[in-house]
Amino acid sequence: MRHDHATHPDTLAVHAGREDFAELGVHAPPLDLSTTYPVRDLDEGTASFDALVGGAASAANPIYARLFNPTVARFEAALAQLEGTSDAVAFGSGMAAMSACLLAAGQRGRHVLAMRPLYGTSHHLLDSGLLGIPVRWVTPDTLAAAIDADTAMVVIETPANPTLDLIDIAAVVRAAGSVPVLVDSTFATPVLQQPAELGARLVLHSATKFLGGHGDVIAGVVACDAEWAQALRQVRAATGGLLHPLGAYLLHRGLPTLGLRVRQAQENARHIAERLAAHPAVAKVSYPGLGTVANAHLVGTQMRGPGSLLAFELHGGHAAAAAVMAAVRLATPAVSLGSVDTLIQHPAGLTHRVVDAQTQQHCGITPGLLRLSVGIEHVDDLWADLTQALVAARQAEAA
């Protein structure tokens, strides 16, 4: 059941996925940790097993937690409403979600098309052929010509990781024609971007990031239509890529503050980006709000705001980047993003280490590039920390 009387995402974030709470007589999300469920009626149990293995959203008997869990289902319902899709399917990590999408696509075609840059492990998974479906790398200009009868899916990430370049989703959908488009929308969240409204068939999130928002849950989720949801549930049931109910509980509990967290972090990022752009140690800042990324004009149309991720290039290269990571005291030098606290990391040496050096260079992932996920701390404290860390960068540059 959808909240048809609630139209604003902030309201949906608070109430979605809670439609059965009154019937259950609870106010907080219930947490069901059962791994198995009693089968008193064998015929009902057999029919339920067949339905769930076949990708049904629910059945009379849950049978086994790899097939269905009510806590997970509530989070899925909430995320689907936030993304404006009929369904969502949750997984144990963002990469489990991506893997399921590619495995499902492999049943529909012989190759996928993808655009760089992507998250490093997504790039590696596609490029390696580990799942048995090859990739052809394209650009927005070459996409239409690359599509043929064997194309199973088009994969894009916008904003891109780590360069923050934007891709016109509607234009990609038009060029793809009948081929389904998957958009990794992790950086944007449904607060800032809803790819399904622009024609994307699958919207993927590493829910570990903004949806979780507190650095305490690893999860992935794909918002999609009923046809794709059935296929993804079949893959999840067969491969065991399920999301643990405790993770689903934490995600569902955190959704009501998603809009507040995203907007506060975004406001901080605007100020930090402007100050970094004026700093002598910094050669370049890539941030949609500064107009310094590809297709920055999409902010205000495709995206409701520029977000809270930025990347900046240091004059001193790798040594300067390493010095900054060693010198920060308030920001945490760590991979991941979208947490309430600020995280800073080195894409070439960490998140995109699995991408070959030539491709890194082609995508603008240089030795002096740092990616900053701005949190909700007070912006003056964040800037003070970055300022003292950039002193170390200038010293490394001079050395």
- Residue 392 pLDDT > 90, yes or no? no
* Mean pLDDT confidence for 320-348: 97
pLDDT of residue 316: 93
Q: How confident is the model at residue 4 (pLDDT cuts 50, 70, 90)?
A: low
Asked if residues 229 and 251 have their Cβ atoms less than 8 Å apart, the reply is no
| 118 neighbors 165 (Cβ within 8 angstroms) | no
Collapsed DSSP state (helix, strand, coil) of residue 184? strand
Average pLDDT over residues 14-25: 94
For the entire predicted model, the pTM comes to: 0.96
Q: Residue 396 — pLDDT band, cuts 50, 70, 90? A: confident
Cα–Cα distance, 176 to 154 (Å, whole number): 7
Which distant-in-sequence residues (6+ apart) come within 8 Å of 289 by Cβ? 269, 270, 273, 299, 305, 306, 307
Q: Do 218 and 247 contact (CB within 8 A), yes or no?
A: yes
Strands 309-314 and 332-333 come out as: unpaired
Bridge partner residues of 88 (DSSP): 223
| pLDDT > 70? residue 2 | no
Stretch 219-229: mean pLDDT: 98
Query: Which residue in the block uniquely carries the two structure tokens 């809670």?
Result: 18
Give residue 385's identity as a one-letter amino acid code.
D
Q: Which residues are catalytic?
A: 66, 119, 184, 209
Phi, psi of 77 (to 5 degrees): -65, -40
Neighbouring residues of 236: CB distance < 8 A, sequence distance ≥ 6: 66, 89, 91, 100, 242
**Mean pLDDT computed over 258-277:** 98
The tokens of 239 are what?
């491969």
Query: In this structure, what token pair is assigned to residue 97?
Result: 């979600």
The whole-number pLDDT of residue 5 equals: 61
pLDDT on residue 393 = 81
Q: Which percentage of the chain shows pLDDT scores above 70?
A: 98
Check: CB of residue 111 under 8 Å from CB of residue 152: yes
Token reading at 179: 């081929």
Between strands 111-115 and 151-157, the pairing is parallel
Identify whether 306 is preceded by a cis peptide bond (ω within 30 of 0).
Answer: no
For 147-179, the DSSP string reads --TTEEEEEEESS-TTT-----HHHHHHHHTTS
For 113-122, 193-202, 320-329, 389-398, which range has the lowest pLDDT when averaged over its residues?
Answer: 389-398
Task: Give me the amino acid identity at 276.
Answer: L
- Enter the DSSP assignment of 249: H
183 within 8 A of 169, measured Cβ to Cβ:
yes
Question: What digits encode the pLDDT tens for the residues 149-198?
Answer: 999 999 999 999 999 999 999 999 999 999 999 999 999 999 999 999 99
More confident residue, 282 or 395: 282
Is omega for the bond preceding 117 within 30 degrees of 0, making it cis?
A: yes
Confidence category of residue 1, pLDDT binned at 50, 70, 90: very low
Percent of the chain with pLDDT over 90: 94
